[in-house]
A and B are shown apart, each in its own frame.
Chain A
Amino acid sequence: MFLGVFFNVRNFFPDPSEQIAGMHGQGSDDGASVLNRGQRDFPNAQSELSNRAAGECAPSLSASPSLEQLMAGYQKGDAVAAQNLIDSVSGRLYAFFSSQLGSRSRADDMLQEAWLRIHRVRHTYRPGEPLLPWIYAIARRVRVDDYRRRHRTERREVGPAALENVRAQPIAAQPSTLPSFAELIAPLPDNQREVLTMLKVNGLSIEEVARATSSTVGSVKQKVHRAYDRLRRLLPQKGGET
């Protein structure tokens, strides 16, 4: 009976796993009722899910097999492969930075810095290994270095009150009246927010997140559990506000 959930929810997410999901999908009233309850709790969810159907999920699932080949070409000095790789990965990296930093201009700087660093250490990618953890590990380090650099500079140049204002700025104006994903995960500790962002915004697996963050799989699972636990406690309040 619950297979219907997949069938109905899947309609909002036409991604490359659709064929696999289709094997499970049979459709039922139960699935529709679950979705309706979801809409009751989050009235804007349907339009947001429809927006996502534009294909944000698609690259994370379909492009990964060829990313490794592009990277191998990049290592061999193939300019076309390098440009294709930049096109394929930059969107994800930008989403990672913008959801973590809360500022598009900073995300722009970070993206540029990340690519320069990727270029500098491109020989450290070992052909045959998954590429995304390698890229996110570098991106993560770029973000941490930037945070530390800014933190040091801001401490010297502005008072703590101004710093709080900078940090408290919302990510970006969203058309929805609901709080954005970034706003809702904002109260989480940095490491939990990072792991959730990699999992959900960037579509990495637990194993990939573990590699990217130089942690064990168990440690990532623990962080995710703590993040979910905290969000579950926060959600009724947030739901009430909407």
Chain B
Amino acid sequence: MTCRDVEPSMVPYAAGRPIPRAAAAHIAGCERCRNLAALLSRADSSTAPGPEQLQYIKSEIVADIQPVKPLAPPAVLFALLLAASIAAAGVGVSQLGIAGWRARDAIQRIAAFTILSLGSVLFASSLVREIAPGSRVFVPASRSIAGVLAIFTGIFAALFQVHPERAFVATGLVCLRIGLECAFAVAAISWLILRRGAALNRTAAGALAGALAGISGLALLETFCPNLNRYHVLVWHLGAAVGSTIAGILAGIVAQRIDTQR
């Protein structure tokens, strides 16, 4: 057993709680680990606030105490977020049509919409956790967003060909605007759904909300836009998702700053 192997046992050992025999044997024979355990046992947790201060806190809280309704269960919020994303993209598709879906081949459809679905599920579930303090985190927000956007970049680069395009910017801007409008709608509805939550890391929450909204915009663009030029898809379609994520991050930073200055 190595010093690293006994690390999970170090705190219980220092607190006098039982640990596995092998770990105890290692600590007994390893001076550095023994010293570390002795150091940990000196952690001072005996400090306490004064009774007057506690009384003051209690009086402040009791003076304002009222029953509150706990946040809705995570599954409900998750379902609402997904429904909002699908509904916003659905409304867009009903207005703009499905020419993009028809223009794409089966592989392009399966690849793009599988990642769109998985990304939406990942971002919605992470966002629901983000607004409830102390929730379990499986994938950090930054990694999940970077991962999904990187996969999209890879898929679009691999599955779409370069085609000559006359009005690259003009047509692109139309797609970007539509994608961002859809994203904005999803972000607004998401805020309504999650407004009772307490996002302690507002930057991460903003990024996740922006990414979820952006993915919804991307889904709309992939369904209605028949332009299969690789650069069009990479710059303007994916750009809508990236732009929405950046907007979410900026909104989160501003909210965090305002919160800190209060």
Contacts and interface: CB of A to CB of B under 8 A. Distances in A.
B11 A21 contact: no
B67 A77 contact: yes
Given A10-B16, A228-B36, A57 B10 contact: no
Interface size classification for chain A: 35 or more
Given A57-B15, A178-B42, A123 B134 contact: no
A79 B28 CA distance: 49
A70 interface: no
B65 A77 contact: yes
A75 B134 contact: no
The winner among A108, A141, A199 for most chain B CB atoms within 10 A is A141
Contacts of B66: 77
A86 B62 CA distance: 11
Nearest to A81: B65
B47 to A, nearest CB: 5
B164 interface: no
A187 interface: no
The winner among B42, B66, B73, B197 for most chain A CB atoms within 10 A is B42
Contacts of B39: 42, 181, 184, 231, 235, 238
Contacts of A12: 16
Nearest to A4: B24
B208 to A, nearest CB: 12
Interface in B58-114: 58, 60-62, 64-71, 73-74
B57 A75 contact: no
Nearest to B38: A42
Interface string A203-240: 10011001110111001010011001001100110110
A15 interface: yes
A136 B133 CA distance: 9
A42 B35 contact: yes
A224 B73 CA distance: 32
A67 interface: no
Interface string B228-252: 0000000000000000000000000
Interface stretch (B1-9, B115-123, B176-184, B216-224): B1-9
Contact of B136 (A24, A75, A210): A210
Contact of A181 (B19, B43, B62, B197): B43
B133 A90 contact: no
Given A108-B53, A178-B42, A215-B140, A6 B16 contact: yes
Nearest to B42: A181
Contact of B45 (A2, A174, A201): A201
A18 B53 CA distance: 33
A26 B209 CA distance: 56
Given A111-B57, A112-B56, A41 B31 contact: yes
A192 interface: no
Nearest to B41: A49
B46 A34 contact: no
B16 A215 contact: no
B36 A231 contact: yes
Nearest to A232: B32
Contacts of B73: 126
Contacts of B56: 112
B134 A135 contact: yes
Contacts of B261: 149
B128 to A, nearest CB: 11
B57 A115 contact: yes
A200 B135 contact: no
Closest 4 CB pairs of A and B: A13-B16, A134-B134, A133-B134, A77-B67
Interface of B: 3-4, 7-8, 10-11, 13-19, 21, 24-25, 27-28, 31-50, 53-54, 56-58, 60-62, 64-71, 73-74, 130-140, 196-198, 200-201, 204, 259-261
Interface of A: 2-3, 5-6, 9-10, 12-13, 15, 17, 20-21, 24, 30, 34, 37-38, 41-42, 45, 48-49, 51-52, 54, 56-57, 60, 74-79, 82-83, 86-87, 90-92, 94-95, 98-99, 104, 107-108, 111-112, 115-116, 119, 121-127, 129-130, 132-138, 140-141, 145, 148-149, 172, 174, 176, 178, 180-182, 184, 197, 199-203, 206-207, 210-212, 214-216, 219, 221, 224-225, 228, 231-232, 235-236, 238-239
Given A2-B25, A149-B260, A239-B35, 12 more contacts: A34-B34, A42-B39, A76-B67, A86-B61, A111-B49, A122-B68, A124-B71, A130-B134, A136-B134, A138-B198, A214-B135, A238-B39
